Amino acid sequence: MSSFRTFRTTHSGTTAARRGAVALAATALGAAALASSVPAYAAGGQAGGGRAVRATSVCDAGLLKLKAKTDTGGILEVGAELDTNVNDQIWTLSIVDNGVTAWTGTRTTAAPSGAFGAAAVIPNLVGQDVLTFSAQLGTSTCTAKVTVL
């Protein structure tokens, strides 16, 4: 005996599969928002570098992902991705380490996803580093923060 899966529409015209996809997207968005409200920590100083810490931030323009880790030689490797789903936006970027600007740059979102990636190597200060990555386009600002020990 064979079975058939049917997609019945509700009175608003959506299928069960579409309602499920929307529910999944809402759950992922909620999890990302929760993750951005909890600071990330990592212990550094091991030979070959420390563990990477990550933070995700949902802003009005898109989704910002930040990653940082200690490396040998007294440096921090910092990387970020911003996905806005809009191509050809020119963003102004900065990394602030313990209140001091450690790096600045610009990146342009590109096809196919309307995203960009940025990477920087900055000095690893003695003690704890609180890194804030900011991306600004006009009045839109996306910010993510991590703490590296």
pLDDT value of position 32: 44
Q: Mean pLDDT over all residues of the chain?
A: 79
Confidence band for 73, pLDDT divided at 50, 70 and 90: confident
pTM value surpassing 0.85:
no
% of the chain with per-residue pLDDT over 90: 59
Say yes or no to pLDDT of 42 above 50. Answer: no
Q: What is the pLDDT of residues 104-128, one digit of tens each?
A: 999 999 999 999 999 999 999 888 9
Say yes or no to pLDDT of 36 above 50. Answer: no
Backbone angles phi, psi at 29, to 5 degrees: -65, -40
Span 41-148 CATH architecture: Sandwich (2.60)
Say yes or no to pLDDT of 9 above 90. Answer: no
